[in-house]
Structure 1
Amino acid sequence: MALLRLNHLSFGYNPHRLIFEDISFAVHPGEVFCIIGPNGCGKTTLIDSILGINQPQQGTIEVGGIRLAQLKPREFAQHIAYVPQSHTKTFPYTVLDIVVMGRTYATRGFGSPDSSQRQRALESLDQVGLTGFSERLYTELSGGELQLVLIARALTQDASIMVLDEPTAHLDFRHELMVMEIITWLVKEKGLTIVMATHFLNQAFYLENAEVPTRVALMNQGKIEAIGTPSEVITKNTLKDVFKISSTTGTTDEEGIQRKFIVPLKNLR
């Protein structure tokens, strides 16, 4: 059974102008489902709908076979964790305080996190490579470190699905690779299901090269143009039609492993 299913979903801030229309797909356990497409095609708006922020004008969303609208906040948190594209650092909480917030849904009333919840947060920090960061002030972290903390917070939630909106948008090359390595580990070793919106098409190839079950949904002008593996969807022809660019694909054979990639060549507009 699909963990997440969208059935003929449509949404618009103005009822006479839809941002996306008639979106249907299913996300299966233990896969990465990448949503790609040009700026303004509706990726983030679609992610916000999956998170329950946007109420669809038409269609339904099901999580674990239950309609999203029927889930209470605590139940929703058990199914879906979220890593935002950006985050404003306002108060100098410790890193551990931020990560343990992933267990808020499991804390009753005005209670405080117990020792087991704090231990779970420490384990998540270890899993994203931030052992020893627990007492650091999160307002003093670099962008890459902060993104890893937010992934640790989502991991602490122990949800079955993790939704990431442009998780490497503001990161340098090294931290982008670290995030992709963690995503690979989460799927292969933890069996997590990932829904990820991204502008970086080679990230889908990275996952495919790493033998992570990966599918891509190509959005354009509020519609899904194609769904399939990265190799099936990210091609010279689709990039020409959707992104209006000329591109070429290639492979490397480093360390005895073949890896596929795509390179943009020129703008066709």
Structure 2
Amino acid sequence: MIKVEHLSFTYASKKAIYSDLNFTTVDGRLNCIIGKNGVGKSTIFDMLAGLVKPQSGTISPLLASSEIIYQMQGVPMLMTATGQNVLDIFRDLNPGAQRTDDFLTTIYQENVVNLLDEKFRDMSGGERRLLIIYAMCTLKRSLYLFDEPTSGLDPVSARKILNLLSDLATCSQVIFTSHNLFELKNMPCHVIFIANRRCIFQGNYEDLMQRYAEDDPVQAFVDALKQDQSVS
């Protein structure tokens, strides 16, 4: 569990991102941060990873960088590298501390083994993303941060990645960001909704739908923003 209390952060341009941000993650399941573009989801990750410091407030525990994997949206990779080269690169970054969980073996056999001899340039977007995230999951860490890991992927590829992260969450703390609320349905997930420089909701997907009396997650997203603005 990670507890964020009374966090404030303002960029040098004087743009205030957070004024009193409070939320708590849960153990044993995925944690998903949602919010409009520009709300500062990546800034939260930067603070959790210790890349930037808030002006006030606390994050506890604040883990050392050696305990964190942080997947940013763009992971540069040589187009001529093979799938095996990619796995070797990530493995060399963390010698002697590899995960060997059963769920990784299943993903490897069903999806990764077919990519070992294929060039990165010849893989689809979904295959590249799954390979990179699989490689990151093999590194043994306490906290995993994934910034929009399913962005632009077809539903099948997205679900494979979310299932992988969901299994990982039973072993370590996993937090990811997303804009697609449809993919959270039927996923064991703790939702953290950020708007107007603070957290306006946290709970599971069903709680979010029930609070705003919606079956449509997009409309629930819109309604949540409207109601928050009306009481701000």
Q: 1: CA distance between counterparts of 2:121 and 2:22?
A: 39
2:163 equivalent to 1:181? yes
Is the contact made by 2:29 and 2:166 (CA closer than 8 Å) also made in structure 1? no
1:206 is paired with a residue of what secondary structure?
Answer: coil
Structure 2 partner of 1:221: 196
Aligned partner letter, 1:32: L
Aligned partners of 1:215, 1:128: CA distance in 2, in Å?
Answer: 28
Instruction: Name 2:230's counterpart in structure 1.
Output: none
Deviations 1:96-130 (A, max 9, x none): 222233334434xxxxxx8x96x99x958616721
Structure 1, unaligned stretches of length 5 or more? 108-113, 239-247, 250-260
Q: SS at 1:135's partner residue?
A: coil
Deviation at 1:15, TM superposition (A): 6.6
Equivalent in the alignment of 1:192: 172
Q: Which residue of 1 aligns with 2:53?
A: 55
What is the percentage of aligned positions where both structures have the same residue? 25
- 2:104 counterpart of 1:97: no
Is residue 215–residue 230 contact of structure 1 (8 Å, CA) maintained in 2?
Answer: yes
Gaps of at least 5 residues in structure 2 are 227-232
CA contact (8 A) 1:40 1:221 kept: no
TM-score, length basis structure 2: 0.79
Map residues 95-244 of structure 1 onto 2, 5 A cutoff: 95-107=83-95, 123=105, 126=108, 129-187=111-169, 190-207=170-187, 212=188, 214-234=189-209, 237=212
Larger CA Rg, structure 1 vs 2: 1
Alpha-carbon deviations, 1:187-217, whole Å to 9, x = none? 3xx533320111111222231xxxx2x2111
Quote the Cα distance in structure 2 between the aligned partners of 1:127 and 1:43.
33
Q: Quick one: higher RCO (CA 8 Å, sep 6+), 1 or 2?
A: 2
Letter in 2 for 1:129: N
Contact 1:36/1:198, CA 8 A, preserved across alignment: yes
Question: How far apart are the structure 1 equivalents of 2:205 and 2:132?
Answer: 26
CA contact (8 A) 1:33 1:196 kept: yes
Contact preservation (8 Å) 2:142, 2:172:
yes
Alpha-carbon shift at residue 49 of structure 1 (Å) = 1.8
Name the count of aligned residue pairs. Answer: 221
Name whichever structure is richer in strand by fraction.
Answer: 1
Q: Helix, strand or coil: the match of 1:14?
A: coil
Decide whether aligned partners of structure 1 residues 22 and 170 sit closer, same or farther in structure 2, where only a CA change above 3 A counts: same
8 Å Cα contact 1:125/1:149 also seen in 2 = no
